[in-house]
Homo-oligomer: A and B are copies of this chain.
Amino acid sequence: MYSAKIKVTLRKSILDPQGKAVEHSIQSLGYKNILDTRIGKYVELNIDTKSQEEAELITDEVCKKLLSNPVMEDYTFEVVNVNGN
């Protein structure tokens, strides 16, 4: 069994109004030195497969097909073995 931890973030060139809203909230709490807040999605999933390579391939396909919008978003992931399988 492998566990994939995926981060999906808006591309740098895309405005992030949700991030801006959070940044304003943080600054109104008094943290004036916090800048450039950006919000993304974080997805964890388990993959029941035999090899690390296969798990990474499946994760990449799922990210491309479903979890990210390739026009606006980038994704990064790491796949780790979670038992002796």
Q: When the two chains form their complex, are residues B66 and A25 in contact, meaning their CB atoms are under 8 A apart?
A: yes
**Known contacts A39-B41, A43-B38; A29/B65 CB under 8 A:** yes
A window 17-72: CB within 8 A of B: 19, 22-23, 25-26, 29, 31, 33-49, 58, 61-62, 65-67
Question: How many residues does chain A have at the interface if contact means C-beta atoms less than 8 Å apart?
Answer: 33
| Known pairs A41-B39, A66-B22, A66-B29; A34 contacts B9 (CB<8 A) | no
A–B Cβ pairs within 8 angstroms, 10 of them: A7-B42, A8-B42, A9-B42, A9-B44, A22-B66, A26-B66, A37-B43, A38-B45, A40-B43, A41-B42
Instruction: Mark A residues whose CB is within 8 Å of B.
Output: 7-9, 19, 22-23, 25-26, 29, 31, 33-49, 58, 61-62, 65-67
